[in-house]
Amino acid sequence: MTHPSAPSTSSVPSAAAPALPTPTADQQVVLDRIAAQRERLRDRRARRAQQQVMQRAEPGLPPDASVALRAVVFAKQYPLAVAAVAGVAVVAGPKRLMRWAGLVLPLLLRLRTQR
């Protein structure tokens, strides 16, 4: 059982196909804006891919990171815990916070200098 072969459709334009007309000045302006936008999008995708690779490569902090930097990273990683501590601080009030800081701060400084 043989079937007649279908005419082949190739993606390569034939020599008989007409060439694209040259764009007018207004059309060229639009084409230039489209090309610039495509380039911006390509650059943005490349930057985003590079940022994602860098974030995967360096998940932690350097060992000599400051306490402030460590606190910021902790706050970004655990926003609910920071919100809970802030809520407790608001409920406790400033007088209790100062009392607790007076007890805890010397202990923390002692631990920090022993390292």
| Digit-coded pLDDT (tens) for 24-58 | 999 999 999 999 999 999 999 999 999 888 777 66
Q: Are 82 and 74 in contact (CB under 8 A)?
A: yes
Q: What are phi and psi of 13, to 5 degrees?
A: -65, 145
Please report, for residues 19, 62, 65, 66, the alpha-carbon distance to residue 69 in angstroms, rounded to integers and kept in the order given. 61, 10, 6, 5
Q: What is the pTM of this model?
A: 0.37
Amino acid 106: pLDDT: 87
17 vs 23, which has greater pLDDT?
Answer: 23
Per-chain mean pLDDT for the chain: 82
In whole angstroms, what is the distance from residue 111 CA to residue 107 CA? 6
